[in-house]
Structure 1
């Protein structure tokens, strides 16, 4: 599964650098071609000759030390990579990457590559839980970088806890597993909606809902990682655009309706996770409304039922909807699956703790029109997104066969 893969291994300066030597050997044994980049600090733990012998390739340590005068070294290596792995990834290299700092061969090449980047952190348990490190990890996660979580156990510093570099064989297994899925949506056009809409009353007031867009952004991030040509139509949210995703920002339900419909015919997979307003004020005032005595009534009118119309227009598309309910989850979800002519529906009980709007996790039930059902326990929205897209990609393959 890694046979012929071109892997750049970035080794930064932590005691776990010694494990990177074993990792290099195992990657080569798995059939990969490995080029190693070492930071100056990493060289204080393990010599470059070790990695050169194990990889049978030159080891890169200096941005300005060109191995080939006809190439710009860091660009050539960045373009060469099918996959980029940082192991161990120290707090320092994670911070550099999160803030666009490029002051050595490793950080410069990381900014130049378009290959998928896997980060395997290794550091002291207190460093790993520091707010700045957590913030940097979250930022990189939102950008689409992938993580191989550190293990728990005895650390070189004497502490016991989370921060130990995952074992080399486990890292290789993760990369092998990811490689089998990496192109499952290659050549497919995926359209995803995310976030809320805002329906104005006047220039300073509007109706909306608490949707953060996190689920839709996680879906877009995972779809792009699986090789899809991914378009994300997003309502007003404060989230960074995932790598490799074409983002279209909208505000109102009408905006979203127009943008979705204009792209629907060309799409293969459509996932509507946005929380679109069902109603909007019938009258919108050009000037700010002033307070006056007594009550005020706002007359509302229906917006377009985007999912209903997509179901009616469906030809070759695989259409997935979401149902966010506070009671009778499966009853309403099953009704929506049939009524909207969906291929599958993801049902979330937003009254359950840790699930629903603005959280980082969800517990869901996936139901396909062919009766296939999966109950997913509480998990991160990225994990859930990966599971949803796995089901969708299998269904698309089934339709083609």
Structure 2
């Protein structure tokens, strides 16, 4: 797993070095973010030597001025761990501060987050600290209670950083909980299929593949083995050992590959914008534009209906989620598709409002047994996580 460890400025900071070593010994890839106060206790060179990767501690160095290192690291992260977490850092992240490298990177991170506080007992028991911890819990951030033991001040009380063994066991437990789709096989389709007219031209659509790829990543982050069947896309493919990228071009190609992998999959999420029509006869040469020719007539025939075809092969334990990209009468058309395709879910998506290639989207979820649920407008990554969690809930039934 890709884990970013945040070190903040408490005396327990030196113990965090052993946490980093323990995570690496467990096979995880670790990168480090440090506050300037943390570096007063432990040098960044120590952590860089352990991880073989530069420590992020300043957004304003010359090498960082031409890049956006906090966003890149936030996107890389699959789990964020703050150890030790000081009262000051807890207060900042609970209230959305982004005033230096650590808080900015943490705020930009959408991966699961773990907090391991360590501080004086009076600071721990302060109402402001407890309010901030409550805020973090409401945001879904997991908190490991500090231990009772001898503090830096020389007396015993609650606030001491837990022992290394207990920290690693707790992090491991949270990782296992996060892998809700471990051992599940999920197919995700993405992008727009292309139907050749001649060796040069084709019929296509505006799909970027961004949503499908976001869903593939979200499923892999929960431990699923994902087969990403992609057609024409305009964004980068994911590079993840849990994601197998399979390229296709036409709708018929996609159907053949989906059927191949559907046999033993647990869920199919059909996000791809497939072409509904193809030319009846593909020219074997480039169709030239002649001087006396003002029109070109193409005879089109239907392409295979992938969702409907595969739904007929669906087993009782398999889940199928399709997308309905519409420009008008969204719910009416999506409801019709839900019934005709015999899918478990249809995600209605109004594509008339600059959706293709955009980072944000607003969808409505339709299912057989529930009233439609319209989500608020959010990033496609957030939509992806929401939809994948629906699949998780289906498996838990």
Question: Is TM-score (shorter-chain normalized) higher than 0.5?
Answer: yes
Matched, 1:137 2:71: yes
Give me the TM-score of the superposition, normalised by structure 2.
0.68
Alpha-carbon shift at residue 368 of structure 1 (Å)? 1.6
Matched residue, 1:368: 367
Alpha-carbon shift at residue 181 of structure 1 (Å)? 5.0
**CA offsets, 1:31-71, max 9 Å, x none?**
xxxxxxxxxxxxxxxxxxx413x67x3876xxxxxxxxxxx
Alignment size in residue pairs:
316
Matched, 1:217 2:241: no
Matched residue, 1:337: 338
In structure 1, C-alpha distance between the alignment counterparts of 2:98 and 2:185, rounded to whole Å: 46
Matched residue, 1:348: 349
In structure 2, C-alpha distance between the alignment counterparts of 1:265 and 1:313, rounded to whole Å: 8
In structure 2, C-alpha distance between the alignment counterparts of 1:245 and 1:7, rounded to whole Å: 15
| C-alpha RMSD of the superposition | 4.0
1:374/1:123 CA distance change after superposition, 3 Å: farther
Task: List gaps (5 residues or longer) in structure 1.
Answer: 1-5, 12-16, 26-49, 61-75, 91-102, 111-118
Alpha-carbon shift at residue 131 of structure 1 (Å)? 6.2
Matched, 1:174 2:174: no
Matched, 1:310 2:256: no
The within-5 A match list for 1:203-214 is 203-214=199-210
The within-5 A match list for 1:1-400 is 10=5, 17-19=7-9, 21=10, 50-52=13-15, 57=18, 78-81=24-27, 84=30, 86-88=32-34, 104-108=48-52, 123-124=58-59, 132-133=67-68, 137=71, 141=75, 145=78, 152-153=96-97, 155=99, 163=104, 174=141, 179=175, 181-237=177-233, 238-243=235-240, 244-292=242-290, 293-316=293-316, 317-353=318-354, 356-371=355-370, 373-398=372-397
Task: List gaps (5 residues or longer) in structure 2.
Answer: 37-46, 82-91, 108-114, 118-132, 144-172
In structure 2, C-alpha distance between the alignment counterparts of 1:153 and 1:58, rounded to whole Å: 26
In structure 2, C-alpha distance between the alignment counterparts of 1:51 and 1:257, rounded to whole Å: 55
1:350/1:123 CA distance change after superposition, 3 Å: farther
Stretch moving more, 162-171 or 279-288: 162-171
In structure 1, C-alpha distance between the alignment counterparts of 2:259 and 2:106, rounded to whole Å: 47
In structure 2, C-alpha distance between the alignment counterparts of 1:258 and 1:363, rounded to whole Å: 31
Give me the TM-score of the superposition, normalised by structure 1.
0.67
Are the aligned partners of 1:189 and 1:229 in contact in 2 as well (CA < 8 Å)? yes
